[in-house]
Structures are given as C-alpha cells and as structure tokens.
Amino acid sequence: MSGPLVLAIETSCDETGIALVEGGRRILSNVVASQVALHAPTGGIVPEVAARAHLRWIVPVLDEAWDAAGVAWDDIDAVAVTYGPGLAGSLLVGINFAKALAYVHRKPLVGVNHLEGHVYAAWLLDPGEAEREEPAFPLVALVVSGGHTFLVEMRDHLTYRLLGQTVDDAAGEAFDKVGRLLGLGYPGGPAIMAAAAGATGPVVAFPRAWLGDGYDFSFSGLKTAARRTIAAARAEEGLRPDDPDGRLSDATTAALAHGFQESVVDVLATKTIRAAEATGARSIVMGGGVAANRVLRDRIAGQAAERGLPLVIPRPGLCTDNGAMIGAAGGRRFDAGARMGFELDARPSLPLATPG
C-alpha cells in the first residue's frame, strides 16, 4: 500500500477518535473513546460535558493509537482533523490538539468535513483485511447520522451533488427521540434495533413521509405519530403518561420499535435505490451511525443485489463516529493538495454539498 500516512483526529460530537490511515484506505490503528455512558443519565449530549470529556481523553486516545500503529513522526505526512459540522466546543478541542501536533512536528494540517468522513469510511480497509475493489463512480452515497440525513451523487472523488436531505429531523435523531419515549435510554438507535428484534406479534403500522418522487426526507411526522401511538399503548396498559418507572411490556415495546424502524428503513432504502437507478449509479455507499442498523443494511443490500448494484457499507464500528473515517477523507484531501493554515477554526454548520 502506498499513499500518504495521515494521523486523523475526530472530536465533533461525543466520540474521541484518533486513527492512523495510509493512502486514505488502510487503517493502521483506530481508537475511539465513547462518551455514551457519560451522556446516558441526561438522555442526550450536554455540549460542555462533551467538550470536557474530549479534553480528558484526547491524549490517552492518541497514545493508544500511536502505540498500536507502531509508526514514527518521520513517517507521518499530515495531521487531519474534523473542523465541522459538529458541536463548537468539541470541535475546538480536536482542532487545537491537531494544530499543536502539526506545529511541533512541522506537518501539514488538513481540515476534514465530518460528513465527507462518513462517506469515505466506505473506502477503509481494516488492518489485515484483504484488498477489494473501490466503490465505482458515478455513485450514490446515503449519509444517515444523529445530525444529518442526505443523499448525494458523486461522479468523482471529493465532488458532491446534493440529491435530497431531511427537511426536519435526522434519522438518528428520530431513533433517539423514539427510544426516549419508549424508555429505552440513550442512544435510541441501537436500543430500538435490539428491542425490534424481539417483535413476534402483529406489525404496528407507522406512517411514511414520501414527499413525492424526490429524494428529500422527513421524520418529524413519524415522531409525532410515534408519540401518539406510544401514549395510547401506555393508557391501554394502565401506565401514567410520563411515569419514567412505568415501562410498556416487552412485547408492546418490541412491536412499536419494530413498526417505527420499518418506517425509517423503508423510506431510506426505497429512496436510495431509486436515486441510484435514476442517476445511473455504478455503486452505492452508505455511512453514519444509522448505517450501523442491521435491518437497514440488510434491506438495502437485498434491493441492491436484486438490481446488480454493488454496495459498500462499512462495518458498524466505522459507521458511527471514528478517527479512521477522517483519515480516509483526509488522505484524499491531502492528495488533492488541501492544506489548512493555523487560522483553521471550527465550522459548526459546515455543509457537504449545496443543492444543484
């Protein structure tokens, strides 16, 4: 393997991730310190708590990633860091750390868009993993995370045409909110997936927002429907509306989780496949935390296979936030000549692509 060796840093949200990635593809090491346990008691992320946790963990995470990769500073071609979108305080911890490393070791600094990282996770190879073909262009990429849900067309590396995006909530946000309504804790996505797997009874139907034939998404109506359905189920089981200690029976929780998940998966899979066909895509890639969902993965894989469309979905640990995906995008950006000055600042609302 050749190509630049990048030290990559990700602190945009609630995972402190540092990785060493070669050629935008081969992971040498990838360490993630998750703050899930820290944010569970509040049922969501408190920005200042997240920023302080990055500050606490960033050096130990670097030490572990560095030791696992067995590299020397002479080998490093660039330091890449997420500079947006994300929580300002969290981003600043990673950016400042990256600047210090780049300055002291005289390395180029490459700023990476977190969303581009989710896309480029599809190019990653684990240590020891056999080589495989890269996703072929033109392709369609679906990014589904806690903060974003969109479809883009890529006709080549690092270029994006926005096909559609959510007009309200992100898919992951809907999972998290409905998880909370079901008393399943934070984050809701993995908890809903686990609960839904236990569903055996009749399917509870939830609405789907198709928004016509385009590629935009909407999940706020689904969330409202879920709130209403969950309230009705609680009344039926004799539970008070907001009693945190009174949880629905496992069977009802499973049925509701299943119905909700089906609605999200159906819309995401259908629109992604439709977009791939309409644009003449030669492959599909997927990324972001919600792409860790097994039902979504299987649904899209089945529909893509039926049409002979190659599909790449990174393993679940590379779908959720991590440093390796920043190393993948950072390596490509470095090759394309991207260099940031030390004035690099956090861009909490940085977009990947604008409509066009």
Residue 308 Cβ vs ligand KG4, minimum distance, rounded to whole Å: 27
Task: Let me know: does 269 contact 302? Beta carbons within 8 Å.
Answer: no
What is the phi/psi pair of residue 53, to 5°? -65, -40
The site map against Zn ion for 315-344 (x = CB under 5 A) is: ------x-----------------------
Which amino acid is residue 99, in one-letter code? K
Residue 292 Cβ vs ligand KG4, minimum distance, rounded to whole Å: 4
Tell me how far apart the alpha carbons of residues 290 and 310 are, in angstroms, rounded to a whole number.
20
288 touches ligand KG4 (CB under 6 A)? yes
- Residue 111 or 189 having the CB closest to ligand KG4: 189
> Using CB distances below 5 to 8 A depending on partner kind, what does residue 89 bind out of ligand KG4, Zn ion, none?
none
- Residue 166 or 303 having the CB closest to Zn ion: 166
Determine the straight-line distance between the first and last CA of the chain, rounded to whole angstroms.
Answer: 36
323 touches ligand KG4 (CB under 6 A)? no
Residue 150 Cβ vs ligand KG4, minimum distance, rounded to whole Å: 12
10 touches Zn ion (CB under 5 A)? no
Q: Contact with ligand KG4 (CB under 6 A): which of 17, 189, 259, 314?
A: 189
List strands edge to edge, sheet with 139-144: 161-165, 149-154, 139-144, 283-287, 311-312
Residue 62 Cβ vs ligand KG4, minimum distance, rounded to whole Å: 20
Q: Which residues contact 178 (CB under 8 A, 6 or more apart)?
A: 188, 192, 223, 226, 230, 257, 260
How many binding residues for ligand KG4 (CB under 6 A)? 19
**Residue from 33, 26, 44 nearest 9 by CA:** 33
Residue 37 Cβ vs ligand KG4, minimum distance, rounded to whole Å: 15
Residues 126-145 that bind Zn ion (CB under 5 A): 145
Q: To which residue do tokens 């890639």 refer?
A: 285
Q: Contact with ligand KG4 (CB under 6 A): which of 20, 293, 318, 338?
A: 293
How many binding residues for Zn ion (CB under 5 A)? 2
CA distance to 18, 89, 119, 320, 343, per residue, from 262 (Å)? 34, 35, 24, 21, 45
Tell me how far apart the alpha carbons of residues 294 and 193 are, in angstroms, rounded to a whole number.
8
314 touches ligand KG4 (CB under 6 A)? no
Q: Which residues bind ligand KG4 (CB under 6 A)?
A: 13, 145-147, 172, 175-176, 187-190, 193, 288-290, 292-293, 320-321
